[in-house]
């Protein structure tokens, strides 16, 4: 298993980790197979989406804030309930295909770590299976 360390800089942000995941594939020496990305945090997630236009990320965060506002009359005492809900909606894992030593993504896709309760040090775990 490979650990990808991340330092978020904002309370809520999406961080492109495509390069780090590709480096993890190289480190693992996997040519063909699959890999599971897993975020072991209850207030962070991982997703695949467009990485060509930064407005997409802005729109995604805006939409999530509209669906799950920071202040929503939540009961959780720590004050980060919105982060927990967003993490559940986005998800804490992604399965990736690996071909010829590279992650398989669509032309405009990138892999994003989703911070919903930062800033803080985080990690993504990556486990590969060779085909």
57-114: pLDDT as tens digits: 999 999 999 999 988 888 887 889 999 999 999 999 999 999 999 999 999 999 999 9
Query: Hey, is 78 helix, strand or coil?
Result: coil
Domain boundaries, the chain: 2-130
Q: pTM for the whole thing?
A: 0.95
Please tell me which residue, 19 or 131, carries the higher pLDDT value: 19
C-beta separation of 84 from 12 below 8 A:
no
CATH superfamily of 2-130: YjbQ-like (2.60.120.460)
User: What band does 56 get if pLDDT is binned at 50, 70 and 90?
Assistant: very high
Specify the pLDDT at position 77.
75
Per-residue pLDDT at 3: 97
The values of phi and psi at residue 109, to 5°, are -90, 150
pLDDT of residue 15: 98
Mean pLDDT over each residue of the chain, to the nearest integer: 96
C-alpha 82 chain-centroid distance: 17
Q: How far apart are CA 46 and CA 37, in angstroms?
A: 8
User: Which pLDDT score is estimated for 64?
Assistant: 98
> What is the mean pLDDT of the segment spanning 23-35?
94
């Amino acid at each position: 298993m490979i650990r990808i360390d991340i330092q978020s800089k904002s309370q809520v942000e999406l961080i492109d980790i495509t390069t780090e995941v590709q480096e993890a594939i190289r480190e693992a020496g996997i040519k063909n197979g699959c890999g599971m990305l897993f975020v072991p945090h209850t207030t962070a997630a991982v997703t695949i989406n467009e990485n060509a236009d930064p407005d997409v990320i802005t729109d995604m965060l805006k939409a999530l804030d509209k669906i799950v506002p920071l202040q929503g009359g939540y009961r959780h005492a720590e004050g980060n309930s919105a982060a927990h809900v967003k993490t559940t909606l986005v998800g804490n894992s992604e399965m990736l295909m690996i071909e010829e030593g590279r992650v398989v993504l669509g032309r405009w896709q990138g892999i994003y770590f989703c911070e919903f309760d930062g800033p803080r040090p985080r990690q993504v775990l990556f486990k590969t299976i060779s085909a």
